[in-house]
Amino acid sequence: MIAFLLSQAVLWGGVIGYMAVEGWDFFKALYMTVISITTVGYGEVFGLSKGGRIFTIFLIMTSFGVLFYIATAFTQALIAGQIKAFFGRQKLERALRRLKGHFILCGFGRIGSVVAKELAKEGVPFLVIERDPAVAKEAEEAGYLCVEGDATVDEILRRAGIERARGIVATVSSDADNLYITLSARQLNPDLFILTRADSPDAERNLLAAGANKVVSPYFIGALRMANALLRPHVVDFIELAVHRRHLELQMEEVRVEDDAYFAGRPLRECGLRERFGVIVVAVKKASGEAFFNPSPETTIERGDVLIVLGEGKGLKELEETVKFRGERP
C-alpha cells in the first residue's frame, strides 16, 4: 500500500509540477512525467526551460528513490516470508519429534474439526493430517499441530509419529481412503488403537476386518439419536448432560485402574467411592475384556480394569489421580 501511494505521489506530483513550471496542458505534463520516471530515453519531447530541466532532474532522482524503496521492501518481504516459512517448518518438525502417546486425526472436515475441538478441550495431545492446503491452514489457525499431506501415504503417517502414537482417528469422507489408512496404520503400528468413520454397513465390516478397533457411522448414530430424542427425551437429555459436559456439576468418565493399592483386594462396598469421591460406578470392564454393568457390591477391582463412573468433575479427577498413582505412597 505504501509503495502504491508513493508511486502515485511521484506521478501526479510530476504532472502538477510540469503544468506549474512549464505551463503545459495536462496531457503534455502527463506524457513528460511518464517518460521521465520510466527513463525510456526519448529526450526532451517538448522544449524545457531551465526551471523545467531542474524539475526533471528532481523528478528522476525522486522516482529512482521510490523505485529503490519498492524493490527493497519487496525483497525484504520475500526473504522474510522464506525465513518465516523455514523456521515454521523447523518448529513443526521439532514438535513432531517430541510427540509421544498422541492421537493422529486424519481429516479436518465437519467431523474431524469437532473431534479436534474435543481433544483440545481435554488437553489430549494430537495432530491433524489434512491434504487440502486451505483446510490445513484453518487447522493451524485454530492452534492445532497440522501436517499437510495425504494420510493414505505411509511416509506422511511416519512423519506424524505413528510408531509412537496412542491411536489414529480416520474421519476422511471416503470409505476407501479410511480403509487404506486403517490397513497402513495397522501395519506400521500393530498396537495402535484405530477409530474410523464409515458411511455404509459394508464399509463398517471391511474396516473391522482390516484392523480397526472401533467403527463409527455418523449417519446411523445421528438417526438413532434423533429417534431417541423423540422416544426417550429425558434419557437423551441426561446423556448429553453427563457426556457432553455442558454442565460441570455432573460428568460421566472412564477411569483405567493403573494402581490398585487403593482397592487392596476389597469389594466395591468397602471402598467408599461414593463417600470419598462422590461417584457412582455404572460399569466395570475387566482387563480380560469382560464387562459388568451395574456391578455387584462384591465386585473386586484389579489393575487394568476400566471403571465407568458418574459424578462431579472434582471427585472424578481425584479418583483418576488415585488409581493412576505410581511410586511409593506416603
Rounded to whole angstroms, the maximal C-alpha distance in the chain is: 111
Give the range of the structural domain holding residue 86, as residue numbers without chain letter.
2-91
- Which pLDDT belongs to residue 44? 64
79 and 104 in a single domain? The answer is: no
One-letter amino acid of 67: L
Q: Are residues 110 and 201 in the same domain?
A: yes
Distances 251 to 107, 230, 266, 324 between C-alpha atoms, Å: 28, 23, 26, 19
Query: Residue 181: pLDDT band by 50, 70, 90 thresholds?
Result: very high
Q: Do residues 68 and 146 both lie within one domain?
A: no
Does 228 reside within a domain?
no
Residue 53 and residue 125 share a domain? no
- Residue 170 falls inside a structural domain: yes
Same domain, 107 and 215: yes
pLDDT digits (tens, 9 = 90+) for 224-278: 888 988 888 877 777 776 666 555 567 888 888 888 888 877 888 888 888 889 8
Grid coordinates belonging to 73: 521492501
- Higher per-residue confidence, 164 vs 240: 164
Same domain for 265 and 177, yes or no, is no
Q: Is residue 236 part of a domain?
A: no
77 and 108 belong to one structural domain: no
Of 75, 91, 107, which residue is a domain's last?
A: 91
The CATH number given to whatever domain includes residue 60 is 1.10.287.70
Q: Is position 231 within any domain?
A: no
If asked whether residues 131 and 212 sit together in one domain, one would say: yes
For residue 328, tell me if it sits in a domain. Answer: no
Phi, psi torsion values for 40, nearest 5 degrees: -75, -15
In-domain check, residue 301: yes
DSSP code per residue over 8-52: HHHHHHHHHHHHHHT---HHHHHHHHHHHHTT-----SS---HHH
Indicate whether 77 and 141 sit together in one domain: no
Domain boundary among 91, 107, 127: 91
Residue 103 lies in a domain: yes
Count of structural domains, the chain: 3
Q: Model confidence at 162, in pLDDT bands (50, 70, 90)?
A: very high
Residues 112, 199, single domain; the answer is yes
pLDDT tens, 83-129? 555 555 667 777 778 888 999 999 999 899 999 998 998 889 999 99
B/e letters for 256-295, b = 16+ CB within 10 Å, e = fewer, are: ebeeeebbeeeebeebebeeebebebbebbeeeeeeeeeb
Pick from 180, 207, 222: which residue ends a domain? 222
Distances (CA, A) of 128 to 110, 143, 179, 208, 234: 13, 11, 18, 23, 36
Q: Are residues 141 and 208 in the same domain?
A: yes
Contact in structure between 149 and 129 (CB atoms under 8 Å): yes
Q: Are 138 and 181 members of one domain?
A: yes
For residue 66, the SS3 value is helix
Alpha-carbon distance of 243 to 236, in angstroms, equals 10
Task: List the CATH number of the domain containing 207.
Answer: 3.40.50.720
Q: What is the rounded distance in angstroms from the CA atom of residue 170 to the CA atom of residue 157?
A: 12
Cell, residue 49: 526551460
- Threshold 0.95, pTM exceeds: no
Contact between residue 166 and residue 139 where contact means Cβ atoms under 8 Å apart: no
In a domain, 194, yes or no: yes
Residue 289 is part of a domain; what is its CATH number?
A: 3.30.70.1450
Q: All 3 cell numbers of residue 200? A: 455404509
Residues 259 and 329: their CA atoms lie apart, in Å, by 11
